[in-house]
Structure 1
Amino acid sequence: MVILGIPDHAFLPVKSMLKKLDLSKNYLTALPKALKDLDVLESLDVSDNSIGDKNFTEDVLRKIGATLTSLTFGSYDILNWPLTLKHLQMLQNLNLTRAAFQFMPQDAFHGFAGTLLTLSLSKTGLKSLPLAVARLNYLQSFNFDQNTGVGDYGMNVPLLQGIMNYLTNVSLKQDSLKTFPEALSVFHNLKSVSMDLNMLDFVSDHAAGSVKQIENLSMRNSNISRIPQALADITSLKSLDLTDNRIHSIDVQDVQILHSVKEIKLNNNPILYISNHAFDNNGNLERLELRNTSLKEVPCALKSAIENLTRVKHHFPLTVDLSNNDIRCTCELKWLAETLSSHQSNITWDIIGDCETIVMSINDYLNSDNLLGCPSSNICN
């Protein structure tokens, strides 16, 4: 049922009980006056309504501002930033899902700059990263996604060193970026960055230097044709997601530079070739995802990966996901069975995926009698 309007005192029966209210995807044109009766409201979602910026009524926001900690809103009827939000002085989470404005005042977060922990600004007409964000001293997570008018120039804003010391997670998805913004370099405690759905076909050493302190990096669907060598400068990197790119091959140096990485996701890439020694220096690897690639064989590179994990006394399980590939399970897989058998007391492992040549999972095939009569294979030597 779609709501067109709400009677002024509709919430009186639950005024002391209702803490979370979702009014999204309706035909409301203003904040309902009925909200003023709610004494304990903590979370409100009014996104996907036709509520313009002039209809974020001041007396309603002043009343719920004493308790509200989470607000989600958004409409292309919002032509300017609603300054009446200043009354939400307990706000911790703010999520703007869409808006038509191209500018935010520097005091946009006045009233809750000292309480806001998570901020999302998506699908706006903004042409640059708002300087107002730099005033959020305790912000921990910032999503600035699908602001397609921003681009590299719009991310080049003057931010001071030492600000926002609690910021650990940043998402800059689909912001028409071609490189990592230098502005990220001022956030010394940043741990996770998502640059999905941009055009990062080339990542320079200088660009990667702006995020050299992070642990998790996602560059999904970003037109990347090769694992960027500049990632070698990110010495603390633990997780790398390059899903949905244009990577055709993994050469000997492409992954060896990622010494500290525990998880590598290369799903949905047209990978045809992986060097036999691609994982020679990856002694921390715990999970490798190669779903839906163009591989026909289990990569020989796993042999050195398994042997390396044994040498460093790796105590975590190794998982290799080869789902949705046309993997041929034949006698040539004897090398993998022998490698795993010789190191079974040192590591636990799991290879996910099915054989193309027989109705059996790869794991089951390796443990079946099918390989017993096969000669030892030197294909991966």
Structure 2
Amino acid sequence: MSCPLRAAPAAALGLLLLLGRLAGSSAAGGPGSPSCPAPCRCFGDLLDCSRLKLSRVPERLPQGVVQLDLSHNRLSSIKASSLSHLHSLREIKLNNNELEIIPNLGPVSANITLLSLTSNKIGGILPEHLKPFQSLETLDLSNNNISELKTASFPSLQLKYLYINSNRITSMEPGAFDSLSSTLQVLKLNRNKISAIPQKMFKLSHLQHLELNRNKIKKIDGLTFQGLTALKSLKMQRNGINRLMDGAFWGLTNMEVLQLDHNNLTEITKGWLYGLLMLQQLHLSQNAISRISPDAWEFCQKLSELDLTFNHLARLDDSSFVGLSLLVGLYIGNNKVNYIADCAFRGLSSLQTLDLKNNEISWTIEDMNGAFSGLDKLRMLVLQGNRIRSITKKAFSGLDALEHLDLSNNAIMSVQGNAFSQMKKLEEL
């Protein structure tokens, strides 16, 4: 009898909780509520009518709806009168439908702050279609059939976030975004067919993040991004860029992150880095870089992270990293490095991670004394997958703060006595 007596209160409590949830759901207009039109689902101020194969908007939508999800249906048009009573509506998702133009939502358009139209059949942006959306902050037109951006495409709006990824854009007229200059903060144009960026294309003084990944841009001229004084990050991965002209990023005085991975760049020069005074992260992985000019970093002395993995570097000279005293992470894995100058890393007084895996380093460790001198704060050194055969007792002198040393996948045959003795903080070898 003792077991059932103990279990009864727990079962009763579970039943009370379940009833409480059902009551709360009904009060909020949840599934089964009289105010929730079948077969839609209501969750508080969200009305979910997605994935119902609808060809028109359901009748008698509840007045208090703030968010309306009509995604994954068969809507080719919207009857404005079906939404006219939704005075609280602020966000509407119409993803994955059959819309060919930006729809007219009637009087409620003026209150909409988020309009998502991804994966439709929209072929162009006309200002008269957007003008009613005077409160709009987020517009997502990704995965449509837009092929060009004209000077008058966008009327004056309150837009902060604009996404036009995965369209067919080949041309952009200068001034296309000018009407958004006082508000736009994020602009994403990934996966299009843009081959060139016209001069004075981006007069967006409040823009903080710009993405142009997976386009067909081969060359960036000087002053291309002039006018983006507030920009924090620029992403241009997988374009096939092979030429960065002097002053290519001039004017981006507040930019902190530049991603140029998966392109065809062959060298790093101060010419194209000119003006990047606040740059903290530079990603150049998967290029064809074989040379770093001696004065490359003159304008980028606030760099904290530099990724040069998967390039064609064969040597690291004593001038390769001059001026990078704030660098914390340096990644040079998967290159062809077989020569490291005596003072190649001198001056990198803040460096904590140095990754040199999968290179052709051999004699550096065997015949040099203090190849890594000056790296007082280095915590991690990765030399995995090189050609190191022997380690002298002074090979790692100066690395007093080292905690992690990876020498795996080498051909080490001999280690001199006391080779690791000075590394008092070493935790993993």
TM-score, with normalisation over the residues of structure 1? Answer: 0.72
Structure 1 residue aligned with 2:183: 138
Match of 2:64 among 16, 26, 30: 16
Shift of 1:232: 4.5
Q: 1:11 to 1:198 in 2, by over 3 A?
A: farther
Whether the 8 Å contact between 1:201 and 1:223 is mirrored in structure 2 is yes
Match of 2:98 among 46, 50, 56: 50
Structure 2 residue aligned with 1:318: 352
Structure 2 residue aligned with 1:308: 347
The 5-angstrom pairing of residues 1-381 of structure 1 reads 3-5=52-54, 8-9=57-58, 12=61, 16=64, 19=67, 21=69, 23=71, 27-31=74-78, 40-53=88-101, 56-58=102-104, 60=105, 62-63=107-108, 65-66=110-111, 68-75=112-119, 77-82=121-126, 83-104=128-149, 106-110=151-155, 113-122=156-165, 123-129=167-173, 131-136=175-180, 137-152=182-197, 155-156=198-199, 164-173=204-213, 174-180=215-221, 182-209=223-250, 211=252, 214-236=255-277, 237-250=279-292, 252-255=294-297, 258-295=300-337, 304-305=344-345, 307-310=346-349, 314=350, 318-322=352-356, 332=366, 335=369, 339=373, 344=376, 347-352=377-382, 354=384, 363-365=404-406, 372-374=417-419
Q: 1:114 to 1:101 in 2, by over 3 A?
A: closer
Question: What is the CA–CA distance in structure 2 between the aligned matches of 1:322 and 1:212, rounded to whole Å?
Answer: 31
Question: What is the CA–CA distance in structure 1 between the aligned matches of 2:251 and 2:372, rounded to whole Å?
Answer: 44
Q: 1:235 to 1:354 in 2, by over 3 A?
A: same
Shift of 1:23: 1.7
Q: Secondary structure at the match of 1:332?
A: helix
Q: 1:210 to 1:339 in 2, by over 3 A?
A: closer
- Judging by fraction of residues, say which structure has more helix: 1
Aligned residues: 347
Q: 1:51 to 1:42 in 2, by over 3 A?
A: same
Shift of 1:264: 1.2
Q: 1:104 to 1:275 in 2, by over 3 A?
A: closer
Shift of 1:351: 3.0
Shift of 1:144: 3.0
Equivalent pairs: percent with the same residue?
19
Question: What is the CA–CA distance in structure 2 between the aligned matches of 1:62 and 1:150, rounded to whole Å?
Answer: 39
Q: 1:19 to 1:322 in 2, by over 3 A?
A: farther
Structure 2 gaps of 5+ residues are 1-49, 389-401, 408-413, 422-429
Q: Secondary structure at the match of 1:182?
A: coil
Cα displacement string for residues 155-188 of structure 1 (whole angstroms, at most 9, x for unaligned residues): 13577xxx53322332333153411463521333
Question: What is the CA–CA distance in structure 2 between the aligned matches of 1:291 and 1:40, rounded to whole Å?
Answer: 54
Q: 1:101 to 1:8 in 2, by over 3 A?
A: closer
Q: 1:177 to 1:8 in 2, by over 3 A?
A: same
Find the structure with the greater CA-based Rg: 2
Question: What is the CA–CA distance in structure 2 between the aligned matches of 1:11 and 1:290, rounded to whole Å?
Answer: 62
Question: Which letter maps to 1:200?
Answer: I
Question: Which letter maps to 2:307?
Answer: K
Q: 1:282 to 1:11 in 2, by over 3 A?
A: farther
Cα displacement string for residues 72-129 of structure 1 (whole angstroms, at most 9, x for unaligned residues): 324573233253332222211222214434455655433xx34111222332335224
Question: What is the CA–CA distance in structure 1 between the aligned matches of 2:143 and 2:347, rounded to whole Å?
Answer: 49
Question: Which letter maps to 2:210?
Answer: V
TM-score, with normalisation over the residues of structure 2? Answer: 0.65
Question: Which letter maps to 1:321?
Answer: D
Question: What is the CA–CA distance in structure 2 between the aligned matches of 1:353 and 1:91, rounded to whole Å?
Answer: 52
Shift of 1:209: 3.3
Whether the 8 Å contact between 1:5 and 1:32 is mirrored in structure 2 is no
Cα displacement string for residues 5-24 of structure 1 (whole angstroms, at most 9, x for unaligned residues): 266337846x6366373725
Whether the 8 Å contact between 1:334 and 1:371 is mirrored in structure 2 is no
Whether the 8 Å contact between 2:281 and 2:306 is mirrored in structure 1 is yes
Whether the 8 Å contact between 2:221 and 2:246 is mirrored in structure 1 is no
Q: 1:104 to 1:231 in 2, by over 3 A?
A: closer
Question: What is the CA–CA distance in structure 1 between the aligned matches of 2:416 and 2:79, rounded to whole Å?
Answer: 70
Whether the 8 Å contact between 2:57 and 2:78 is mirrored in structure 1 is no
Shift of 1:134: 0.3
Cα displacement string for residues 3-42 of structure 1 (whole angstroms, at most 9, x for unaligned residues): 43266337846x6366373725x55433487766765554
Q: 1:77 to 1:20 in 2, by over 3 A?
A: closer
Q: Secondary structure at the match of 2:353?
A: strand
**Bigger relative contact order, structure 1 or 2 (CA pairs below 8 A, ≥6 apart):** 1
Structure 1 gaps of 5+ residues are 377-381
Question: What is the CA–CA distance in structure 2 between the aligned matches of 1:74 and 1:107, rounded to whole Å?
Answer: 22
Q: CA RMSD in A?
A: 4.2
Shift of 1:371: 5.8
Whether the 8 Å contact between 2:242 and 2:265 is mirrored in structure 1 is yes
Shift of 1:2: 5.3
